[in-house]
Amino acid sequence: MKEISEPRFNAIAGYARDPRAALTGEELAYYEVEDGSILGLIIRDRIDGDFAGMAFGRDAKLRFRWTSMTDFLESPELARDALAELMTNLSDEPDEFHHQGDEKGQPVDFFTPVHPPEVLHPDFRQVASEIGFFPARGIIEPMMRWHEDLDGNFVEQFQSTAFDQRIWELYLFATLIELGFSLDATHAVPDFIGKSLFGPISIEAVTVGPTRRGAEIVPPPPFETEEQMEAYLWNYMPIKFGSPLFSKLRKKYWEKEQIEGVPLVFAIADFSSPGSMIHTRSALERYLYGYSFDAARDERGRAVAKPTKIIEHRWGDKVVPSGFFDIPDAEHVSAVISTTAGTISKFNRMGILAGFDAGDVLMTRTGTVVDPDPEATSPLIFKAIVNAKGYHESWVEGLNVYHNPRAIIPLEERLIPGAAHHHCAAEGNWTTTAPRFHPLASSTEILGGVNVAQALADFEGPAMKFWKKP
């Protein structure tokens, strides 16, 4: 057996965890046999202080689940030796040995087309066939074996009409699992009902799509000049965010018995035009709270954000009131969450970290990140080599949580650790708690035909570098 990283183990078998297991056992190391058919981990019993090995094999739906374990032993070295023997023996067992008897349905065949070529979404065709997206395919396949398709059309829509929406749902699924939530697979509404050691949560996925006129996609307005960008972010995009959020509000999810007393969160992603999410975070914030914030200086010369109340957003003949959290019934929504990272690029980067190497493909990531300097008025720029040793990323990284000041059931920050949590009081006083590294937006470049091993051998310095905007 060979030792593997925690991100690789999590990508392949982390979905089998019960969050309560962390109370009694500490995970120390992770392993797989040469052909990847058996996984293992070493745990330390938190109560008795002894050690054991746990082995995982594929069930009838190809999901890695606990199969066998060693005795508890006095040292991690003894546990490792016992686990190596156990995993070798399990490798000789037939596939049926690992089946659990509770599997329903067939394994998800996620990337085999279920439509004729002309119906497939162009992004799906690219992800399913190009070598540069091998890491994304590698991390999505085991994930989809655990994702319960309660609506029965996930794969079909992922491949054709709703690629972005389904990627967004997969991102939320991966993030909730990373945060230690066990998910309720008995209800299709809302999209996710979860419980962690810190409490329950329910999440409904929301996406902003392009404007359509019949079957035709209407391009967004230009935002090349400063004036065009201001109009785009002050009026056009707040209205775009408002439409799907208001539609979700009308469904009254809080009346569902399965989430009674549970915080309800709307998770929104902007797919209104290619790459639009890089620019539109401020538009969402304006619409949610009904305030804009201008850079100013207080009486001591310190940088502060001056709030200005927004009454409405107007674009052409469309007018909507600003302040989603002020709308009647919005008090039933505990928070709105969003990120610019819920895209296929995120899966590609996380796939690299999980060891799904694309061979001769090098990935670089460039973006902006919150400047920890309290006097800063603009973000830092960063650039990273995703393949490089020392590069780190999590699913929750870059997630923004906008708390509703009027929520009947407030969302506790500890339910979503690692995110940036934003609060805005009625008079516009804004407070944020965020991790030290909190990216605002980024883009990933895929460089094919690169001798990655040689490039990394010649590379000097940290995996990620920062600098201030000129």
Q: Which of 202, 199, 321 is nearest to 256 (CA)?
A: 202
pLDDT over 90 for what percent of the chain?
76
- Non-local (6+) Cβ contacts of 428 within 8 A are 289, 291, 293, 307, 308, 309
- Mean pLDDT across the chain, nearest whole number? 92
Listed residue (348, 380, 354, 355) closest to 447, CA to CA? 348
What is the predicted pLDDT for the residue at 428? 87
The region of weakest confidence among 184-193, 329-338, 449-458 is 449-458
List b or e across 270-300, with b for residues whose CB sees 16 or more CB atoms inside 10 angstroms: bbbbeebbebbbebbbbbbbbbbbeeeeeee
Give residue 302's pLDDT: 63
pLDDT of residue 19: 87
Whether the predicted pLDDT of 248 surpasses 90: yes
The CA angle 232-236-241, to the nearest 5 degrees, is: 120
CA angle, residues 328, 331, 332, in degrees to nearest 5: 110
- How much is the pLDDT for 297? 65
Angle at 204 between CA 261 and CA 246, to 5 degrees: 100
Half-sphere exposure of 257 (CA within 13 A, CB side): 1
CA gap 368, 454 in Å, rounded: 28
Contact 401, 422 (CB under 8 A): yes
Q: Model confidence at 420, in pLDDT bands (50, 70, 90)?
A: very high
Q: pLDDT (tens digit, 9 = 90+) per residue, 32-79?
A: 999 999 999 999 999 999 999 999 999 999 999 999 999 999 999 999
Are 387 and 378 a contacting pair, CB within 8 Å? no
**What gap in Å lies between CA 360 and CA 8, rounded to an integer?**
20
Q: Which two tokens stand for residue 107?
A: 């394994």
Mean pLDDT computed over 298-319: 83
Percent of the chain predicted with pLDDT > 70 = 97
pTM of the predicted model as reported, rounded to 2 decimal places: 0.94
Per-residue pLDDT tens for 215-232? 788 899 998 999 999 999
pLDDT classification of 298: cutoffs 50, 70, 90: low
The yes-or-no verdict on residue 109 having pLDDT over 90 is: no
What is the predicted pLDDT for the residue at 262?
Answer: 98
The pLDDT of residue 374 is: 74
Q: Which of 45, 44, 42, 64 is nearest to 53 (CA)?
A: 42
Alpha-carbon radius of gyration of the chain? 24
What amino acid occupies position 92?
A: D
pLDDT exceeds 80 at position 301: no
Task: State yes or no: pLDDT of 22 exceeds 80.
Answer: yes
Closest residue by Cα to residue 334 from 429, 200, 235, 208: 200
Say yes or no to pLDDT of 12 above 80: yes
Mean pLDDT on 13-21: 90
Lowest mean pLDDT among 124-128, 211-215, 320-324, 325-329: 211-215
Coil/strand/helix, residue 292: strand
Burial pattern 347-384, b for ≥16 Cβ within 10 A else e, equals bbbbbbbbbbebeebbbebebbbbbeeeeeeebbbbeb
pLDDT of the residue at 303: 62
Token reading at 413: 């920050």
Q: Kind of pairing, strands 264-270 and 312-315? A: unpaired
In eight-state DSSP terms, residue 73 is B
